Amino acid sequence: MKLISWNVNGLRACLGKGFLDFFQAADADIVCLQETKLQPGQVTLELPGYAQYWNSAEKKGYSGTAIFTRQTPLSVTYGLGLEEFDHEGRVITVAFESFFLVNCYAPNTQRDLARLPYRMGWEDAMRAYLQKLDQIRPVIYCGDLNVAHQEIDLKHPKANRGNAGFSDEEREKMTALLSSGFVDTFRALYPQTTDAYSWWSYLHRARETNAGWRLDYFIASQRLFSQVADSKLLTQVYGSDHCPIELDLVEPCLPR
């Protein structure tokens, strides 16, 4: 079973940069998108064989998530069920018999950590939400989580210490999540792999020089990790400032 997650940084723009070619070639069972930047009705995708679920921000041209899945979920939930966090289209949860899949575009802490208090509240709410789901069935939590957890997860850790995405506070929240029964699948499989990133600034030829950050994750309940065959960064795929990431699960986890 193959899952893909990709921050497309505006789906309409990404459609003009080969998104559908990638989608067809990937032949994934489930595709999760972040930062779609779409309102309902602004784009119509013909994706035969896939059910589509969208969560748009109230603010136009901002945030947004989507899930395309071959298997119809048992249920679909939008947001966290908390008023302060559910206006930006950041979360979609789909339930299958074997697991929950939570697609997330985490809030950016912004320049000078202007949104750090909001982000800290978000992280606590998300961790509680994931733990609650995990009591029912295992969880796969994916998306652009807007944090490089360890120094190995970005090219220039010393220069970026304390910046958005690499503040001590954000990193500690990721540690807290992983300490509560969850696994960073890529890092668990490749603990020593360096220069493995999923986002590059458009400035200073960052992608050409691989001066990147690993901000995109597939995180799984510990008891589901035995079913993980691989967790990959698809760095050869362009179309956004992020590359897609892939999670391969041992069959049969989800029937087609």
The tens digit of pLDDT for each residue in 97-144 reads 999 999 999 999 999 999 999 999 999 999 999 999 999 999 999 999
Per-residue pLDDT at 252 = 53
Residue 255: predicted pLDDT: 41
Q: How many residues does the chain have?
A: 256
Element (H, E) at 206: helix 206-209
81 φ, ψ (degrees, to nearest 5)? 80, 20
Confidence at residue 253, expressed as pLDDT on a 0 to 100 scale: 55
pLDDT for the residue 116: 98
Residues with Cβ within 8 Å of residue 249, at least 6 apart in sequence:
1, 2, 3, 227, 228, 229
Alpha-carbon span 172 to 169, nearest angstrom: 5
Cα–chain center distance at 182: 15
100-105 and 245-249 as β-strands: parallel, antiparallel, unpaired?
unpaired
Q: Residue ranges of the chain with pLDDT lower than 70?
A: 252-256
pTM: 0.96
Provide the annotated active-site residues.
105, 144
